């Protein structure tokens, strides 16, 4: 079933922030916290420092009314810089690639900062900034 989450970007303090949110909402992470080091190695990717490898790749926490907040650490070593506007994303968890492609095409039209829909180790993913300056992420999770 499709759902919506709010995705938050941090500069190295995702874990601290989410432990705070966990205490505020009285809930537990919906899956184990994933670190950058937990990703499959990319032989063509850059060499990351120990601090970067220990950064949070993904965390998810239910808050209220079926809504989840999700988060990640942006990596300064990769040229990421946190500014108001790139710290919040609407994440759409979709049921099919066809629906993801349709929504991506519509929301990215006239937009910028596009990461086209591609297969990733966790599923099918893409991201864009729409023409109104709103960041959207699209995910179709792999099923086992």
Q: Tens of pLDDT along 86-124? A: 778 898 889 999 999 999 999 999 988 899 999 999 999
User: In this structure, how many other beta carbons lie within 10 angstroms of the beta carbon of residue 119?
Assistant: 11
Residues 6+ apart with CB under 8 A from 139: 91, 92, 93, 94, 100, 122, 123, 124, 125
Write out the two tokens for 101. Answer: 């492609």
Contact yes or no for 117/97 (Cβ under 8 A) = yes
Asked if 139 and 125 touch (Cβ cutoff 8 Å), the reply is yes
Domain hosting residue 126, numbered range: 3-141
CATH number at residue 101: 3.10.180.10
pLDDT tens, residue by residue, 31-48: 899 999 998 878 888 888
Domains identified in the chain, total number: 1
Q: Of 1 and 119, which is predicted with more confidence?
A: 119
**Does residue 127 contact residue 88 with C-beta atoms inside 8 Å?**
no
What is the pLDDT confidence band of residue 85, given thresholds at 50, 70 and 90? low
Please report which confidence band the pLDDT of residue 81 belongs to, taking 50, 70 and 90 as the band edges: confident
The pLDDT score that the predictor gives to residue 84 is 66
pLDDT mean across residues, the chain: 89
Instruction: Sheet containing 68-73: give its strands across.
Output: 34-35, 56-62, 68-73, 3-10, 88-93, 135-141, 123-129, 112-119
């Amino acid at each position: 079933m499709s759902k919506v989450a709010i995705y938050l970007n941090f500069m190295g303090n995702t874990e601290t922030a989410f432990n705070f949110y966990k205490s505020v909402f009285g809930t537990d992470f919906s899956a184990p916290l994933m670190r950058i080091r937990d990703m499959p190695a990319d032989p063509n990717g850059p060499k990351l420092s120990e601090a970067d490898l220990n950064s949070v790749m993904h965390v998810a926490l239910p808050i209220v009314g079926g809504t989840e907040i999700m988060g990640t650490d942006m990596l300064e070593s990769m040229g990421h810089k946190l500014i108001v506007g790139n710290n919040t994303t609407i994440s759409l968890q979709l049921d099919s690639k066809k629906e993801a492609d349709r929504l991506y095409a519509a929301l990215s039209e006239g937009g910028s900062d596009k990461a086209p829909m591609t297969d990733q180790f966790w599923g099918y993913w893409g991201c864009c900034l729409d023409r109104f300056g709103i960041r959207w992420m699209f995910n179709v999770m792999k099923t086992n």
